[in-house]
Amino acid sequence: MSKVFVNIGLSLDGYMAPEGMTMGKPEYKNWGAKWGAMMAWILNQQYFRENMLKLGPGGETGPVNDLLRSTTERIGANIMGKRMFDQGESTWPDEAPFHTPVYVLTHEKREPWVRPGGTTFYFVNEGPERALELARESAGSRDIRISGGADAIQQYLNLGVVDELEIALAPVLFGGGRRLFENLREPGPQFRIDRVLDGPTATHLRYVRQ
């Protein structure tokens, strides 16, 4: 069966997103600079630049680039929350950077939104379990990524269905924002360390469920 995994960037003090993060207003509470510092590790990777930003050849190669490639290529479907979708809808390029079916957790009723490059957004009103069921059907033998935001990830952690956590931990302090590990039920899920990969701008951690 395909695996369910989380793959995100995280600040050193545990935030996925800085306070005041509103697309189109990067200067508000300086969130744009903070988020950019957290995600700096990915921006120069060859695979990201060539396959996601479509900037043409160039960029860094090596273990981090290989990790990014293998993570991306394993994804058969994505799941995200409505807040993440709303933030990205106005800023993603026409060829949205997912290239898989994406299931959006929402109370809004909306027809699927088809984008160039293989991304189609489906809006699921029946809750996280139904979104996961649909994602499994789409993904086949490939894996399902819970893309974010924090609330959506917490819902799947509470359901006990997350098999792996992949966290790029950046040496950046936000001091406020949306924490990853809040609102978790007891007993929480149990993970063990599977891999640690050091990079100059982030430490890449993989945890697998015990």
| Superfamily for domain range 4-209 | Dihydrofolate Reductase, subunit A (3.40.430.10)
- With a CB cutoff of 8 Å and minimum separation 6, the contacts of 146 are 4, 5, 6, 78, 79, 80, 152, 153, 156, 162
Contact 103, 135 (CB under 8 A): yes
Two tokens, residue 96: 């949205």
Start-to-end CA span in the chain (Å): 17
Lowest mean pLDDT among 5-19, 51-65, 111-125, 142-156: 51-65
Q: What is the pTM of this model?
A: 0.92
* pLDDT range class, residue 31, cuts 50, 70, 90: confident
**Burial, 80: exposed, middle or buried (Cβ in 10 Å; 0-12, 13-18, 19+)?**
buried
Contact 99/120 with Cβ under 8 angstroms? no
| Beta bridge pairs of residue 8 | 167
The string of pLDDT tens digits covering residues 74-118 is 999 999 999 999 988 988 888 898 999 999 999 999 999 999 999
